[in-house]
Amino acid sequence: MITVYTGNGKGKTTSALSEALLALSENKKVVMIQLLKGSTYSGELTALYRLGIPLVQFGIGCRWSSMIRSGLKHCTNCGECFRANRDPETALLLMQKALDYLHEIVRNREFDVIILDEISHALNYGFLPSEKLLQLLRENDKIHWILTGRNMPLELLTTADSWSELREAKHPFRQGMPSRRGIEY
């Protein structure tokens, strides 16, 4: 089963985590793999740890992450970590490590549900060929795959068993309200 959450609105990762909670309630083993994202502070890091769901990040993180995590600093959305993760030299290496890890956990049949968070960025920037991902998904159809990210490539949408597009209708951030700890991050 392949589920995709895409679109420009908020809630893609949250939707994936909702499915993870349901799977966990049935004693299914779940892992979340975040691609081109690393060591930033987000509530999901803490929540997944508390729930016993591993979160493996393949990406460059924020240099302020420890201060943000402790509440001493607020993320300013400077974009430094996002730019670092778009550097082809770094991103290609990170994606190869992510693929190696994915092949290992699939071969060992460690998880029933695998969330590939922000996979669309790796595909859209050419850091991961769609064919490689599609082959992995097709060869391992006993796993429930959940893919998230903006602008999911068409070949993934047409392959998916289920996909949802989230769009922003209204958000407090657009009204000048800063992101809130425990709500948006």
Domain that residue 108 falls in? 2-165
Q: Is 179 domain-assigned?
A: no
CATH of the domain at 53: 3.40.50.300
Please state the φ and ψ torsions of residue 110, each to the nearest 5 degrees.
-80, -25
Q: Is 183 domain-assigned?
A: no
Identify any residues that bridge with 114 across adjacent strands, giving them in sequence order: 31, 145
State residue 40's pLDDT score: 65
- Give 142's DSSP letter: T
Q: Is 63 domain-assigned?
A: yes
Q: Is 6 domain-assigned?
A: yes
pLDDT in 10s for each residue of the chain, 185 residues: 999 999 998 899 999 999 999 999 999 999 999 998 776 667 777 888 889 999 999 987 777 777 877 778 877 777 777 777 788 888 899 999 999 999 999 999 999 999 999 999 999 999 999 999 999 999 999 999 999 999 999 999 999 999 999 998 888 878 888 777 777 76
Q: Is 136 domain-assigned?
A: yes
State residue 170's pLDDT score: 87
Cα–Cα distance measured from residue 75 to residue 150, given in angstroms and rounded to the nearest whole number:
21
Total domain count for the chain? 1
